[in-house]
Amino acid sequence: MNDNTLSGRTALVTGGSRGIGRAICVRLAQAGIKVAINYRSNQAAAEETAQRVAEAGSSAYTVRANVASRQEVDAMVEEVGQHLGPIDLLVNNAGIFEFLPHDELTPEVWQTTLDTNLTAAYNTIWAVKDGMIERGFGRIVNMSSIGGVRGRPNSIAYSVTKAGIIMLTKSLAEAVAPHNLRVNCVAPGLTDTEMPHSVATPEVIEELIEATPLKRIGQPEDMAKVVYFLLSEDADFITGQTIIASGGRVLLP
């Protein structure tokens, strides 16, 4: 799997301790990329991801930070730079999901979701982009969701933030393209992680799989492969785009 295109460069993956984030870390490690694994609270899971990165043949560094805090993000970026080198690759994967009807969506839930899912991406990008511009190289992938392109009546705050991620990707991509920075987005569909199983019954999940043309649930590794492609030079003429990885359940025109 190691094509050496990005070998030796440093990536920061936010929310990298579990699920899709962990799969992304391992896929990058297989390409010889040094991986900084950001986590907020589950250090044990982050250390397990680091072990898998090491087994894949690359260097790992775990770093705790609440990415909703610009101060903590700035400190994290400096710490990663000291241990692994300057960050050339950024994957904004950290996020939270609340399944709530509209009459239970409180201002507190709205603000926390906005801070964690959207402002956090701004924080990390703004902490690394100037260095990327100075070095003349940068690759950023933001994780959205099919909820960002299709209305979700019981996850309004989540869908709004994920739609914001798509527009952040488009707008930033145009702004930084002259500096050899590419910015793209992945919008996963139903994926076999803790998130869907925490809010949906097995019966509902089976109904969603049946509604998926490819007739299966996505795996974290499916999303990791798309992320790696967008970071790699195989995607060197792609920027500002959102790739929906949903098994065909959600399609863009």
pLDDT digits 0-9 by tens, 52-87: 999 999 999 999 999 999 999 999 999 999 999 999
pLDDT at 219: 97
Which helix (H) or strand (E) is 47 found in, with range? helix 43-55
Domains of the chain: 10-191+220-245 (3.40.50.720)
pLDDT of residue 1: 45
Q: Where are the alpha helices (DSSP H) in 61-180?
A: 70-84, 107-114, 120-135, 156-176
Which residues of the chain are modeled with pLDDT < 50?
1-2
**Residue 158 a catalytic site member:** yes
Residues 161-189: pLDDT tens digits? 999 999 999 999 999 999 999 999 999 99
Report the C-alpha gap between 163 and 189 in whole angstroms.
14
pLDDT reported for residue 94: 97
| pLDDT recorded at residue 233 | 96
Distance, CA of 234 to CA of 30 (rounded, Å) = 16
Residue 57: predicted pLDDT: 96
Nearest of 14, 90, 16 to residue 53 by alpha carbon: 16
Q: Residues 39, 61, 158, 228: which is the catalytic one? A: 158
pLDDT at position 3 is: 58
The reported pLDDT for the residue numbered 31 is 97
Q: How far is CA 105 from the centre of its chain?
A: 24
Q: What whole-number distance in Å separates Cα of residue 38 and Cα of residue 51?
A: 14
Instruction: Report pLDDT for 199.
Output: 82
